[in-house]
Structure 1
Amino acid sequence: MTLLPQELFDMIIDEIHDKETLKACALVATSFLPPSQRNLFRGVQLGGYSRLTAAALAESPHLVSYVRDLTIYMWGVSENFLAEAVILHSVQRIESLLVGFGYWSHLGDEASSALLDCLLRPSLHRLELSDVLDVPAALILAATAIPVVELKSVSMAYLGEDISEQLHAPASAPASRTRHLILDDGGPASFAICDFLLYPRRNPAYTQQIERLELRIGQHSASHFERIIEACAATLKCLAVHATDLIRLPLLPSVLEVEIKVFIGDNRRLPLFFSSNLSQVASSLPLVETITLVFVVTPSPPEVRWPSVAPLPIFGPSFMDRTQLLHLRQVHCKLLRRAEYYSGDMRAVFDCFVPAMESRMPGLQGTGILKCSLVEDWWQA
């Protein structure tokens, strides 16, 4: 075994993704230990109910150098996060950071400061905040320096009645690097995030460099998220929206890909606002090449068929005149199975879905543009 190059051992172990197998490899030989540890500690979860990982990293500080993907759960009290503060200060090559489920104040001053410092690492390319309450404005400001930012049900700390000075970016603010922004409707909590990003006195580059935008738009957040879309219009190349109501799309001259996700109930009928939202694609996205329609369906028994209704306006028989959508190359219809609703065989449901889509888009028949697929798990959509 010693005659084989170490690089070969490293390459083989790098292909192992099961943690129990990696733990076993670490015990085989001295040469197996570093690559096994590197893969075991690439993704680390801190906080929550388990303190084992934080303890292991504290006892063996060299393991921190392997951490690339870090998750921090914030339930608990601030005294519990002192070990996390030390680890956050030590992680130098972090690539992805997820912080979720709790009040920002639970971190305490030491961990809060360490986490804000961590956001300034040049290696960090993705930040996700999920169900985090009362985040400081400084965190949102720092997040604009990260290429991919996802904010799901995030609320900002109260800024007071006169917010102008707090929203004004200081001269030392980091340069904007966000190119991919994901916003999830968190009710009124998401409105403050939009106001913060769009405040007139802030550097407009925070939104005018975004190339990919993903939005989950609720009834009350539509006007706020529409402002975000408009602010990104000049540079936006890909737009994905999951809307529960009618939205308004501005002219998006550079968008090449658009995704519209919609929930379908047991009656298999598209919501009334769907046709209007889709029709805007033709007038607002002159260069669009790919349209993806994701139908999140509650699969009733297979005998519940899709209703026979009129074609969608932009894909009716007149589509072949091609006065609009001149660059369109593909319309991809995805039937998305939500595992929490149904665990049975989706094939019969999908067999009804395909002809239903073809009947709604007669103008695409024979063009090779229309594609239908079944997505079995929600995270693959």
Structure 2
Amino acid sequence: MARLPQELIDTVVMEVKGKPDLQACSLAAWKFVPASQSSLFRRMYLEWDSSSRTAPAFERTRLFFQDHPHLTLYVRDLTLDIPKSHQDQAILEIVLRMLRNLERLAINGHAQNWDDLLTDLTYTISCTISLPSLQRLHLLRILRLPASVVLHAASCVRVLSLDRITPQSLRDIPAHIPPNTQLENLILPWCLATNALIRACDFLLTPQNLRRLSVEVRDTGYYRPPIVASAAHLRHLQLECGISSIPFDLPLLPNLRSMVLVLPRLVGTEGLWTLPENLSSTIVTLPAVSPRLEALHITIRISTFQTAPTWQDHIPFPLFAARSYRDQLPALRDIQCCFGYFDTFMPCSGIWFELALQSFIELMESQMPAPFHDGILTVGRASHRSRVNYLDHLP
């Protein structure tokens, strides 16, 4: 063992995934310790029970890192809740200052106002966002977040998601802002506060170097400006539609490689289920809009139901009716169609869902006969998410 290079030992230990196995490795030999500890402490959670007035885990973490400061160097991925008491916020601020190598930070504000948080904590959060190592930032449920904080985040990290974020009523940045050159992946889920956020943080609509964009399509049409601004560079686009079936108005996306469409099923004549019209109209434009497309993922969502569904559509999409689609989309190698609920936290199972899924499989295979026969079409159920670990589903 002593003759093996440390690099080889580290490589072997880094392949161990389970926490009990890593703990056993750290106790097996002193040469196993660095790599074991690096894996054990790479991802950390600081969770706070909103039903409790205190967050004892925060104090235990502070004491632990004060006794073992070298372990703070291993923490790369931190997911945290902001507690409500200023005492616990002060402890969290101390812990954050210890972590200087973070690459991913996810913060759940639990619907607290930014101005009500401890001043030292908000300052430390801003300093953490400025860390050269930080690449991914996810902000969830923070009220009255200053536009300057959003601008700072968009200028520092490469991946940014803003979910249920409301801005301050008074914009605290000048009207003319230099273009952002850092952000590559922007995720803007729709909620009641999104329109206000976009008005206060309009610089999010004019990114120059986005490679990946995920937005929800609503009547306000705020989704289109960032697509247009980043059209030359965009490689991945995800569009989600609510209950309505709003037509997509997409510009030319010459470098787009992957497109994800999340759409509602509609109800046609005589109560028959039908695919949304904007799906058909988008597929028609794919060769002109995204000629280098490699992957197309479609998810159709439904509400709960208790009767066997019957689909109205059985006419193939013209683009995919014959193998000539290969001439129009020569790079296309993967089409995935998924079927699930609007509530992504609801398991896609049960007798009625299985019936609906089987009829959906038959429908999509008939809608895209050429890709089906070419073996590039797969149809199945949508993935199930966990409410508890929502932030884990983000990049």
Give TM class, smaller chain.
0.7 to 0.9
Is 1:252 aligned with 2:252?
Answer: yes
Question: In structure 1, what is the equivalent of residue 34 of structure 2?
Answer: 34
Q: Distance in 1 between matches of 2:370 and 2:182?
A: 41
Amino acid at match of 1:209: N
- Quote the residue 2:379 is aligned against: 372
Amino acid at match of 1:334: C
Instruction: Give CA-to-partner distance per residue, 1:243-285, whole Å, 9 cap, x none.
Output: 1230432312322321111244897543454434444545533
Amino acid across the alignment from 2:133 = S
- What does the per-residue CA deviation read over 1:275-311, in whole Å, with 9 as the maximum and x for residues that have no partner? 344445455334434322123456868x935524242
Q: Secondary structure at the match of 1:134?
A: strand
CA contact (8 A) 2:165 2:194 kept: yes
Q: 2:62 aligns with which of 54, 69, 73?
A: 54
Corresponding position of 1:288: 293
Q: Matched residue of 1:142: which SS?
A: helix
For residues 232 and 167 of structure 1, what CA distance do their matches in structure 2 show? 21
Specify the alignment match of 2:85 in structure 1: 77
Partner Cα distance (2:348, 2:298) in 1: 21
Query: Is structure 2 residue 141 aligned with structure 1 residue 131?
Result: yes
Change (3 A) 1:65 1:321: closer
Residue 238 of structure 2: aligned partner: 240
Question: CA 1:3–1:300 in structure 2 vs 1: closer, same or farther (change >3 Å)?
Answer: farther
Q: Residues 196 and 158 of structure 1: is their aligned pair in 2 closer, same or farther, counting only changes over 3 Å?
A: closer
Q: What is the deviation of 1:90?
A: 3.1
Rounded to whole Å, the distance in 1 between the matches of 2:137 and 2:318 is 37
Matches within 5 A, 1:289-368: 289-296=294-301, 304=308, 306-311=310-315, 313-315=317-319, 317=321, 325-327=328-330, 329-330=332-333, 332-337=335-340, 340-344=346-350, 350-362=357-369, 364=371, 366-368=373-375
| Distance of aligned partners of 1:26 and 1:264 in 2 relative to their CA distance in 1, 3 Å threshold | farther
Asked if the contact 1:282–1:314 (Cα under 8 Å) also holds between the matched residues in 2, the reply is: no
- Counterpart residue type for residue 166 of structure 2: S
Instruction: Give, as a single letter, the amino acid of the residue that structure 2 aligns with 1:258.
Output: M
How big is each residue's C-alpha offset from its partner over 1:193-237, in whole Å with a ceiling of 9 and x where there is no partner? 3335535xx9x9x612111111133x35x4112222222223222
Q: 1:374–1:264: structure 2 CA closer, same or farther, 3 Å change rule?
A: same
Give the distance between the partners of 1:82 and 1:291, measured in 2 at CA.
Answer: 47
Q: In structure 2, what is the equivalent of residue 261 of structure 1?
A: 262
Aligned partners of 2:81 and 2:108 also within 8 Å: yes
My pick for the range that moved more, 351-360 or 115-124, is 351-360
In structure 1, C-alpha distance between the alignment counterparts of 2:25 and 2:331, rounded to whole Å: 50
Aligned to 2:228: 230
Displacement after TM superposition at 1:240 (Å): 0.9
Between the aligned partners of 1:11 and 1:364, the Cα distance in structure 2 is 41
Query: In 2, Cα distance between the equivalents of 1:6 and 1:290?
Result: 41
CA distance in 2, matches of 1:374, 1:286: 28
**Where do 5+ consecutive residues of structure 2 fail to align?**
49-54, 386-392
Q: 2:164 aligns with which of 153, 162, 169?
A: 153
Q: Is the 8 A contact 2:210 2:234 kept in 1?
A: yes
Contact 2:251 2:289 in 1 (8 A): yes
Q: Distance in 2 between matches of 1:166 and 1:74?
A: 29
d(CA) in 2 for partners of 1:6, 1:316: 54
SS in 1 for 2:64: helix
| d(CA) in 1 for partners of 2:169, 2:313 | 49
Aligned twin of 1:198 = 202
Whole-angstrom distance in 1 between the partners of 2:370 and 2:5: 60
Matched, 1:275 2:280: yes
For 1:122, the aligned partner's letter is P
1:46-71 alpha-carbon deviations (Å, 9 max, x no partner):
35233233332233222111110011
Q: Give the alignment's Cα RMSD to 1 decimal.
A: 3.5
> What amino acid maps onto 1:291 in structure 2?
L
Who is 1:109 aligned against?
Answer: 119
Which amino acid letter does the alignment assign opposite residue 127 of structure 2? Answer: D
**Cα distance in 2 between the residues matched to 1:168 and 1:214:** 25
Identity rate, percent:
24
Alignment partners' CA distance in 2, 1:166 and 1:215: 26
- For residues 320 and 23 of structure 2, the distance between their equivalents in structure 1, rounded to whole angstroms, comes to 58
User: TM-score, with normalisation over the residues of structure 2?
Assistant: 0.78
State the distance in 1 between where 2:37 and 2:302 align.
42
Note the C-alpha offset of 1:336. 4.5
How far apart, in 2, do the equivalents of 1:312 and 1:276 lie? 13
The TM-score with structure 1 as length reference comes to: 0.80
Q: Distance in 2 between matches of 1:322 and 1:40?
A: 48
Residue 181 (structure 1) aligns with: 186
> What is the identity, as a one-letter code, of the residue corresponding to 2:36?
S
User: Structure 1 residues 328, 29: closer, same or farther in 2, change over 3 A?
Assistant: closer
Counterparts of 2:12 and 2:72 in 1: how far apart (Å)?
A: 22
Structure 1 contact 78–106 (Cα < 8 Å) conserved: no
Q: Which piece of structure 1 moves more, 111-120 or 23-32?
A: 23-32
Asked whether the equivalents of residues 299 and 337 of structure 2 are also in contact (C-alpha less than 8 Å), the reply is: yes
Give the CA deviation at 1:116.
Answer: 0.8
Matched, 1:121 2:131: yes
